[in-house]
Amino acid sequence: MTRYRDLYSVEDLPIFQNRMYASEQEAIHCPKGNMRLVEDLETGLLYNQQFDPDQMVYDEHYQNDQSSSSIFLSHLDEVAGIIGRTMPSELLLEIGCGKGRFMDLLLGRGFNVMGVDPTYEGDSARVIRSYFTKELNMRGDGIILRHVLEHIQNPFDFLCMVRDANGGSGKIYIEVPCFDWICSHNAWFDIFYEHVNYFREADFQRMFGTVYESGKVFSGQYIYVVAELSSLQRPVYDPGHAAQCTAGFFSQQPELPATASQHQRRIVWGAASKGVIFSLMSKRRGQAVDTIIDISPAKQGRYIPATGLRVHAPDAVLSTIPDGSIVHVMNSNYMDEIKAMSQNRFVYKGIDNVL
């Protein structure tokens, strides 16, 4: 029996979506890799079979902080509430704490938290600037793993390492993008090289014998699960949970609506993963994006991978865009925030709201 079922292939994707570049040419010539998304017919897990972990070196140029948005901060508040009601209160360890924003939020609420991440830029003694390994001798009564597991080749092996490093037990909070949401929203722009894995809620039910709580957050875009590390078990393929997408999903390509005139600019709001892939695929279709906007100060004035588009702050560019222009919003969760920020002057198209 063939071990894999092919789902989707695309070539020459940037290996990082959130790695920012100092020049247009450096961004255009960024490292690239190929995507071959498969379903493993032994474990049932979905991943990029052509992923090369040796290319993935995370450093200070990696910018995925979303704390500039009040909408995303509301999401973090919700997650903190889940952790507060499901996780132990003694010592929490956040693996992959990024710039430390969520850890700081938890500390402000009275949690005792330590963190580890190679991209950390602060000076807190609570954070180790490193990849997580067993040799760090870091443990927690509860482990937080937010938006890390989708980046890790062999996620089950990684979880086993976390379990063993933590003395064989402990509660773990995991949060990852939801593949079922990607499929139901025709979100082809949410499949990219940097995410080697794509998860369904059922995957975690098969990986853990004890799941205390699971569900979806951030308008269904993310899965969360609270489970017992000691109950970790190798997942086994279940035909009843085979990957399902709408007919033609993986063959779809973006097509920007016709502009009011040939001189009207093509504008994208959101310079993170969705915006990077949407802009790249649009360019390949001969519908290149002219302007990309983002509220993150860490992205502004720098260049996104593959297309080399320069990221603009809203205040720096909105006055140059004619009223009634089409603005393509990369994540509809931010639609109201974007409309308010731009005084509702434009026609807003959410690319992820097709059900």
212, 74, 181, 184 alpha-carbon torsion, rounded to 10°: 140
Q: What local confidence, expressed as pLDDT, does residue 241 receive?
A: 87
Q: What local confidence, expressed as pLDDT, does residue 229 receive?
A: 98
In whole angstroms, what is the distance from residue 277 CA to residue 230 CA?
38
Residue 204 CB contacts under 8 Å (≥ 6 apart), including other chains:
174, 211, 214, 223, 225, 227
Residue 123 has pLDDT above 70, yes or no: yes
* 213 in any annotated domain: yes
Q: What is the mean pLDDT of residues 36-53?
A: 96
Q: What local confidence, expressed as pLDDT, does residue 258 receive?
A: 53
Q: Are residues 62 and 198 both part of a single domain?
A: yes
Phi, psi of 29 (to 5 degrees): -95, 25
In whole angstroms, what is the distance from residue 34 CA to residue 37 CA?
10
Q: Are residues 136 and 226 both part of a single domain?
A: yes
Strands 32-40 and 171-177: unpaired
Residues in the chain: 355
Q: What is the mean pLDDT of residues 285-310?
A: 94
Three-state SS at 123: coil
Q: Are residues 319 and 270 both part of a single domain?
A: yes
Task: Give which of 57, 63, 56, 50 is closest to 20, Cα–Cα.
Answer: 63
Q: What is the CATH number of the domain that holds 340?
A: 3.40.50.720
Q: Are residues 247 and 287 both part of a single domain?
A: no
Residue 246 has pLDDT above 90, yes or no: no
Q: Which residue has the higher pLDDT, 119 or 126?
A: 126
* 115 in any annotated domain: yes
Q: Are residues 34 and 156 both part of a single domain?
A: yes
* 345 in any annotated domain: yes
- Show which of 214, 229, 252 is a domain's final residue: 252
Q: Which helix (H) or strand (E) holds 174?
A: strand 171-177
Q: What local confidence, expressed as pLDDT, does residue 355 receive?
A: 39
* 355 in any annotated domain: no
Q: What local confidence, expressed as pLDDT, does residue 260 receive?
A: 44
Q: What local confidence, expressed as pLDDT, does residue 31 receive?
A: 95
Q: What is the mean pLDDT of residues 258-275?
A: 77
Q: What is the mean pLDDT of residues 58-72?
A: 73
Burial 298-311 (b: 16+ CB within 10 A, else e): bbbebbbbbbbbbb
Q: Are residues 264 and 234 both part of a single domain?
A: no
Q: Are residues 222 and 125 both part of a single domain?
A: yes
Q: Lowest-pLDDT range, 38-52, 93-107, 234-248?
A: 234-248
pTM, rounded to two decimals: 0.90
Q: Are residues 221 and 302 both part of a single domain?
A: no
* 149 in any annotated domain: yes
Percent of the chain clearing pLDDT 90 (strictly above): 76
Q: What is the mean pLDDT of residues 129-156?
A: 96
Q: What is the CATH number of the domain that holds 220?
A: 3.40.50.150
Task: Give which of 207, 88, 114 is closest to 159, Cα–Cα.
Answer: 207
Q: What local confidence, expressed as pLDDT, does residue 249 receive?
A: 64
Task: Give which of 63, 120, 98, 67 is closest to 272, Cα–Cα.
Answer: 63
DSSP string, 27-88: HHT--EEEEEEEEETTT--EEETT--GGG----TTB----TT-HHHHHHHHHHHHHHHHHS-
Which two tokens mark 284? 């390949």
Number of compact structural domains in the chain: 2
The amino acid at residue 126 is R
What is the span of the domain harbouring residue 172?
1-252
- Show which of 197, 219, 252 is a domain's final residue: 252
Q: Are residues 306 and 165 both part of a single domain?
A: no
Which two tokens mark 17? 């979506």
Residue 259 has pLDDT above 90, yes or no: no
